[in-house]
Amino acid sequence: MSSILGFVQTIVPFLFVLGVLIFVHELGHFLVARWYGVKVLAFSLGFGPKLIKVTRGDTEYCISAIPLGGYVKLAGETAEDKPSGDPTEFLSKSKWIRFQVYLAGPVMNIALALILTTVVLTQGADVPLYRSAPPVIGALAADGVAAKAGVQVGDRIVRVNDTAVETWDQFDLAVMPRANREIELAIDRSGAPVSIILTPAAEGRFDIGTIGVAPVLRPQVMFINPNSPGERAGFQLRDVILAVNGETGLGREGIISRIQKSANAEMTFTVERTGAPQALVVTPELVGEIGMIGMQISAGETRRVEPGFVEAARMSVDETWQSSKAIGTTLAGLFTRETPVNQLMGPVAIAEISGATAQLGWVALLSLMAMISLNLGLLNLMPIPVLDGGHIAILAMEGLARRDFSVKVKERILVAGFATILLLMVTVIYNDVARLLR
């Protein structure tokens, strides 16, 4: 029974996410085609046998059995359709109009990513401060790759290979795709340049590159229960914990461990509030067999972000642009071999992530949808025949050549594109199966 429930919790969010993204993509093609008077013969979510279909006007709307895509069928779309020259046929329209029809699908996915990110940002969030801070090493895993290679606490990582890294986010993006592949770290160690070559280890089912380092983290008070020992002692939200009974450098787990062992015994906390340190004395209460002070403590400092709609929209544009650059680098890396193909995810992995994310709530699911929608939009703009970007590239080449390519040339181009997409599909499905077996 539990396995059936788990399957349902995975497949329903997956179908929801994929269905919305495909619908929005194909809706873009559909609306622009209709705007320019192109006859639309079919609008399908999915491929293969049609499960549900209904005809309205000239268009058949249907849901098909294989949910891994969709299509809009236009009248006279290809030479194989034997266009008659009717002005409602796709090939009767100018290259500029056909360009807009092809572009509309990816643009709709990117627009959806912007909208969803804006909605997510308006909900507010506690943003870890270290993400936008310089990548200065605060801790090392004793048996980690970095420690063994000679990286030290306090080192400031300047570059990963030839890529400058100014924040922890940039550092993570540079290291995560390079599991089991040698990299060079350029380090600033107390003003002296140091170069260290190491190989990130692969972590988790998705082979995420990691070198076993952590930022400088200072635990912070995130929530205080009313009438709790913490509230009576004078703790306030956002207090940063510097020391406990004079002991500095403690992480979240260390602080909690000492609280639990100190029931009914006074403890002196040194906290930083508005930039100034002060001492607070608290006596943990015995709850069950452990001491508690009624506070939630985060591992590191955060800042609360609660933008209005206009500010959220501005932040969404910036975040989407940064994500687009990262995705572009990843896609380009497929051709330069900088992006390992074993990290590419197929439908099984996306379904698994969708199910897990859905259990975190609708905000997390919308955030995942925004990320996948942006990926889908940019992927479709790649100049690979069969994809929208491939059709756009062919139109551009025909425009530069000032003549239309022959049917035979286009067929060869499309066959090459189909072979590329098929190879990509085989690769991601192989990756999914390999992860399941592991």
CA-CA distance, 167 to 326, in Å (whole number)?
A: 14
| Cα distances (angstroms) measured from residue 126 to each of 71, 252, 274, 301 | 40, 17, 18, 9
Q: Which residues are catalytic?
A: 26
CA-CA distance, 106 to 100, in Å (whole number)?
A: 11
The encoded tokens of residue 262 equal 């100190």
CA-CA distance, 422 to 412, in Å (whole number)?
A: 15
Q: Which residues have C-beta within 8 Å of that of residue 436, sequence separation ≥ 6?
A: 348
Q: Which residue has the tokens 């609306």?
A: 31
Using alpha carbons, select from 30, 25, 34 the residue that is nearest to residue 112: 25
The encoded tokens of residue 403 equal 């003549």
Extended strands (E) in 155-300? 156-160, 163-164, 183-189, 192-198, 201-203, 208-210, 213-215, 220-224, 240-244, 247-248, 267-273, 276-282, 285-287, 290-292, 295-298
CA-CA distance, 324 to 119, in Å (whole number)?
A: 19
Cβ 241 vs Cβ 255: under 8 Å = yes
